[in-house]
Structure 1
Amino acid sequence: MKPTRPIIAIVCCHKLVDGQPTQAVYQKYIDAVQYHGGNAILLPYTAADDSNFSALMSLVDGVLLTGSYSNVAPARYGATHIEDKPDLNRDTLSFQLLDYAKMHDVPLFAVCRGLQEMNVYFGGTLHPDWRPTGLFYEQHLEDSSRPIEEQYQTIHDVLIEEGGYLASFGQKWHVNSLHKQAIDRLGDSLQIEARAPDGLVEAISLSQHPFMIGVQWHPEVSYDNDELSKFLFREFINHARKRHHTPYQAQASQT
């Protein structure tokens, strides 16, 4: 029997729990999807198996690429620095999800690392560390000496671009920001949705797609009490709900 809520696939990350390899998703992402009307399912790296991927994705109404402790592999965007926090299996799955979402108009919401994956997938590049560039002056990185709940407090404005998807929300908002890497060159076919006052790209979208949006901040922390966070998750789930009403058989026939 078909679920009544749209199914949102959330990408998993590699972590060590009690010294054992684990595929995991922070609960706040699951809670945000549930709160706004979706049904979350978790995709481990094995979901990238080509023999089963299309059949699995025919059941999915939306994709959520989460933030993560890890970073995109430098080789993905032509960089040569040594990355001390890789997760190559997540890279593989996320890029496959982006490809499928682009080809089949699946709603996709990308947060922090997810935004960086989205930009790299479309041919863009990243600053491995924005701090030595001298280009930015806002506080984009958390103070790790503070408690977690304080690290995720809002810290700087984002200025929303005219003519984009977020323009229907407003012109400016205050967001939380916890990232060392950032967009350098924008990927092909991507549109800048918002910047920090210092010019750092904070949100992007894919032109000519129903809903593919990435943000550099963390709306999953305040999914139920911040207006921009609620707007983003609500719009994402609403687009997934529209896809949910299309028979799965018809979706699968496109693959």
Structure 2
Amino acid sequence: MKNSRPIIAIVSCHKMVDGQPAQAVYQKYIDAVNFYGGNPILLPNTAADSENFDALLAMVDGILLTGSYSNVAPTRYGATHVEAKQDLGRDELSFKLLAYADERNMPLLAVCRGLQEMNVHFNGTLHPDWREVDGFYEPHLEDNTQPLEVQYQPVHYVIIQPNGRLAAFGEKWHVNSLHKQAINKVGARLLVEASAPDGLVEAISLLQHPFMIGVQWHPELNYVQDNLSKFLFTEFIHHAREPQTE
């Protein structure tokens, strides 16, 4: 029997704080997990190198891969461009967590960068910058001259596919959009759950897994009021409470 408040491991990112390297997670992810009934813990990048990785994850009921200022390293998906904003430690940990969650049917929610990591882990590829691809016309990248509360406002709809997990929520929803990388080739064993009107993939799930979902938007921002955010976090925590079968 699972604890009433399952333990949710949240991946950390490398940051510089007061001129010193740090491992950090934005408070909004922690607050969202806590609000919906999870016990959040933070995993530093060094967890990937730990000899006790399996023992550490054995205490965990679910995994949250957050968005990030950094982007997935090009070498992870066979690209050769120069990527200025990288976090190789985050890459290493996230891909190890994805493999663990796949092997052990552990619930996993992936947000923005997390969705891109999820797609690459299953042998998909990314557009390094969707603005360089013909056909995408929705405002997928924020205006960073605006205040954060403006940047995170909903800017376009996502069209939800009728054969996926998100179909239980509805047919479409208005979401925010703050990303440069985007899915190109969808990874093996992944189902497209939702797309923008211009065709950009906005959500994916892993077939034959209890709950592994990636979304390109940021449900953690308005997690109390936004209905799709409520649905995602409620389902995530619900599955984290359930016994996992390998």
- Given that residues 4 and 241 in structure 2 are in contact (C-alpha distance below 8 angstroms), is that contact kept between their aligned partners in structure 1? no
Instruction: Give the CA deviation at 1:132.
Output: 1.4
- Given that residues 3 and 241 in structure 2 are in contact (C-alpha distance below 8 angstroms), is that contact kept between their aligned partners in structure 1? no
- In 2, the alpha carbon distance for the partners of 1:203 and 1:54 equals 28
* 1:173 equivalent in structure 2: 173
* 1:17 equivalent in structure 2: 17
Q: Percent identity?
A: 70
* 1:123 equivalent in structure 2: 123
Instruction: Give the CA deviation at 1:160.
Output: 0.1
1:1-255 matches, within 5 Å, as 4-243=4-243
Question: One-letter code of the match for 2:25?
Answer: V
Unaligned runs of 5+ in 2: none
Instruction: Give the CA deviation at 1:3.
Output: 5.8
Question: One-letter code of the match for 2:146?
Answer: R
Over the residues paired in the alignment, what is the CA RMSD in angstroms?
Answer: 1.2
Any idea what the Cα deviations from partners look like across 1:13-63, whole Å, max 9, x if unmatched? Answer: 000001100000000000000000000000001111251000000000000
- In 2, the alpha carbon distance for the partners of 1:133 and 1:197 equals 15
TM-score, scaled relative to structure 2: 0.98
More helix by share: 1
- In 1, the alpha carbon distance for the partners of 2:171 and 2:118 equals 23
Question: One-letter code of the match for 2:27?
Answer: Q
Question: One-letter code of the match for 2:71?
Answer: N
Secondary structure at the counterpart of residue 110 of structure 2: strand
- In 2, the alpha carbon distance for the partners of 1:157 and 1:5 equals 33
Secondary structure at the counterpart of residue 51 of structure 1: coil
Any idea what the Cα deviations from partners look like across 1:79-113, whole Å, max 9, x if unmatched? Answer: 00001000000000000000000000000000000
Residue 85 to residue 200, structure 1, CA distance change in 2 (3 Å): same
Question: One-letter code of the match for 1:159?
Answer: I
* Moved beyond 4 Å, runs of 4+: none
